[in-house]
Amino acid sequence: LKTTWQIFTGTYLISPLYLAEVAKDTALLHGVQIRVHESPNSSEVVTYAPITLFPSPVPKSAFYQALAVQVHYNTLVDKISQDADFLQKALASTITVDNFTARLFKIHQQVLEEGKAQSIVLGLNRSDYMLDQKNEGCPTLKQIEINTFAASFAGLTSHTPHVHRHILKVAGCVEESQRILDNNSAAGLAEAIAKAWELYGSKRAIVMFLVEENQINIFDQRCIENELWKRNISTKRKRFRDVSKTGSLDPDRKLFVDGQEVAVVYFRNGYMPQNYQSEQDWQARLLMERSLAVKCPDIGTHLAGTKKVQQVLSQPGVLEKFFPEQPQVVEQIRSTFAGLYTLDMGDKTIEMALRTPGLFVLKPQREGGGNNLYGAELQQVLQEVKGSEERMAYILMDKIHPTPVQNILLKRDAPLKISTCLCELGVFGTYVRKGREMVLNKCAGHLLRTKSSEHADGGVAAGVAVLDNPLLL
């Protein structure tokens, strides 16, 4: 049978069934694993993370463009998080209609009124892109969103290059296997966490991973934990209920959970409304935000990653406010923007989207994948909200049209078949600031996710996309 790789090269014949088994075995061998809960009452199942059989082609120029702009996005997010007036103005309409964003903003206000206990800021973010082939000529890099909260898969994607290199060698593509880059994103994120822990200044204090009750993507997080343990930094996994029951602040506002001082709170949970099951969970979030512990993200950085802020940044003159007398930086960032539109005032934008829904994406203020609306769903929601203030809970964005690629998606219990796929490139960024001094600002690695073109939205955790590697062309 012809493999997907033969579609790329027109050269090799080998059984894709055999290569699929090799890929699965190699993934498990190299730690590319994910824990699956089939039902609340079932035993846990550990399986390989969903991956592509082959790496997907990515233009080298666009790839390095995404890496180069990341340090500027780090700086931008940090500056926004410190600008209370900007956040107030940007989110003013959203918080009147979106209860979740309003609740987060209330915590932000409470922290500012009391005064921030901690001057150390830790940022771990991921900027996501697609290559837009809408216009003739070379595809252009366009940002989908920037994730400032729980940017995932730095751990697993640190291991996937080994998998695809091995697969290509088995398929006889030794030369191509050498074009897959090393990618130790987990070490990059751990380096920034370790720097924040070091600046906190207590060797007895721990790094606390704030996690979900049932964590599907646990091995991704374990990779980062293991990197911290290599540096002799203790980590603990806690949930909102643990903080609620055993968390406290001492007179200096040091955070203690279960009797242990916490130097860094690394939030891997708390970015969706359903993460807060009770008022106690909200109070636990406030307790952590008020504390001396370094938060990743702190509440200002969380708000900086909202869709509404993304839309406001695209308006003329806004980037210049954050990068005065740096026109080259402004241009680097702005060149990655897709068209973004407010729904706050007037009906012109809504009517435009209703006439041509295939050209747009409707985005609520939500993270985690699977929240965006397209086509008929977009039309239905816009018809429902166009006459009310509820429309201010959304933004509208130009739909990106990437070039499809052929690949085989390896998912648990899914049939093996060649699919037409779309790729999304993510770039990890890390920064640590103490007071006004930026002590670390880096691009920490990359992530490629691929999904079948039949799915409009959804990531790996949502069961739609799979892990991939860029084959630079």
Query: Which residue ranges are tagged as binding site for substrate?
Result: 126, 221, 449
Q: Is 469 a catalytic residue?
A: no
β-pair partners for 423:
450
The single residue of 93, 127, 152, 441 carrying the catalytic annotation is 152
Do residues 173 and 4 lie in contact, with contact meaning Cβ atoms separated by under 8 Å?
no
Q: Is 155 a catalytic residue?
A: no
Both structure tokens of 144: 């989908």
Q: Distance between CA 467 and CA 340 in Å, rounded?
A: 28
The single residue of 191, 227, 289, 367 carrying the catalytic annotation is 367
Residue type at 434?
K
Residues belonging to the binding site are: 126, 145, 147, 221, 307, 363-372, 374, 397-400, 424, 449, 451, 457
- Beta carbons within 8 Å of 134's beta carbon, 6+ residues apart: 400, 401
Q: Is 363 a catalytic residue?
A: yes
Q: Distance between CA 124 and CA 190 in Å, rounded?
A: 10
User: C-alpha 104: how far from its chain's center?
Assistant: 19
The single residue of 127, 449, 459, 469 carrying the catalytic annotation is 449
The single residue of 74, 147, 269, 419 carrying the catalytic annotation is 147
The single residue of 307, 308, 391, 433 carrying the catalytic annotation is 307
Closest among 296, 305, 306, 292 to 249, alpha carbons compared: 292
Rg (CA), the chain: 22
Q: Distance between CA 161 and CA 245 in Å, rounded?
A: 42
Do residues 334 and 323 lie in contact, with contact meaning Cβ atoms separated by under 8 Å?
no
Q: Is 433 a catalytic residue?
A: no
Do residues 127 and 426 lie in contact, with contact meaning Cβ atoms separated by under 8 Å?
yes
Residues belonging to the binding site for Mg(2+) are: 145, 147, 367
Q: Is 368 a catalytic residue?
A: yes
* Phi, psi (rounded to 5 degrees) for 405: -130, 160
Q: Distance between CA 296 and CA 204 in Å, rounded?
A: 19
Q: Is 449 a catalytic residue?
A: yes
Do residues 261 and 206 lie in contact, with contact meaning Cβ atoms separated by under 8 Å?
yes
- Beta carbons within 8 Å of 386's beta carbon, 6+ residues apart: 347, 350
Residues belonging to the binding site for ATP are: 145, 307, 363-372, 374, 397-400, 424, 451, 457
The single residue of 195, 363, 391, 433 carrying the catalytic annotation is 363
Closest among 23, 122, 13 to 469, alpha carbons compared: 23
β-pair partners for 341:
396
Q: Is 79 a catalytic residue?
A: no
The single residue of 125, 127, 145, 290 carrying the catalytic annotation is 145
Helices marked H in 316-468: 318-322, 327-334, 348-355, 375-385
Using CA atoms, how far residue 406 sits from 57, 115, 298, 462, in Å, is 10, 53, 40, 21
Q: Is 145 a catalytic residue?
A: yes
Q: Is 126 a catalytic residue?
A: yes
The single residue of 24, 81, 126, 254 carrying the catalytic annotation is 126
Q: Could you tell me the sign of the dihedral formed by the alpha carbons of 285, 187, 444, 168, in that order?
A: negative
Annotated catalytic residues are: 126, 145, 147, 152, 307, 363, 367-368, 449
